[in-house]
Structure 1
Amino acid sequence: MKKGIHPDYHPVVFQDSATGFKFLSGSTVGSAETIKWEDGNEYPLIRVEITSDSHPFYTGRQKFQQADGTVAKFNKKYGLA
């Protein structure tokens, strides 16, 4: 790999603004704000709006609306179901 053309990849802590959930991951994003993590080290803190802790798909709060398919419409129309 060529030197000087790749961004700095380092560990950062992401925090969900809605729930306060935090997780450590690698990123090229930096931040002036830091936080002390469970391992005793300080890492840059990145605040995000949505994570798996607050997203409805992952929390099970998502509601699924399924439209009737063509076969279901046919069966309903002709009283076959």
Structure 2
Amino acid sequence: MKQGIHPDYHKVVFMDSATGYKFLSGSTKTTEETIEWEDGNTYPLIRVEISSDSHPFYTGKQKFTQADGRVDRFNKKYGFTN
């Protein structure tokens, strides 16, 4: 491989925003937010909208109710008030 053109590959923790499920994996993505993992080490934290823990294809059902509309969910998620 050519030297100096590949991004730094390191361990990060991904957290599902919908369920709070966390898993440690390798990634080239970086973030300022960190979290202490079960092994006592601190890793960058990357929040994801959906993972295998919340996706209906993997779970066979919805894990959260969608009583609100899309706009209401967006406003609630990002802290906007009406």
Aligned equivalent of 1:3: 3
Name the CA distance, whole Å, in 2 between partners of 1:8 and 1:31. 13
Unaligned runs of 5+ in 1: 63-81
Letter in 2 for 1:30: T
State the TM-score, normalizing by the size of structure 1. 0.73
Aligned equivalent of 1:50: 50
Aligned equivalent of 1:40: 40
Structure 1: 4+ residue segments shifted above 2 A: none
CA drift at 1:41: 0.6
Name the CA distance, whole Å, in 1 between partners of 2:25 and 2:32. 17
CA drift at 1:56: 0.5
SS of aligned partner of 2:57: helix
Name the CA distance, whole Å, in 1 between partners of 2:43 and 2:3. 24
Aligned equivalent of 1:68: none
SS of aligned partner of 1:35: strand
State the TM-score, normalizing by the size of structure 2. 0.72
Say how many residue pairs are matched: 62
- Highest CA radius of gyration, 1 or 2? 1
**What percent of counterpart residues are identical?**
81
Unaligned runs of 5+ in 2: 63-82
CA drift at 1:42: 0.5
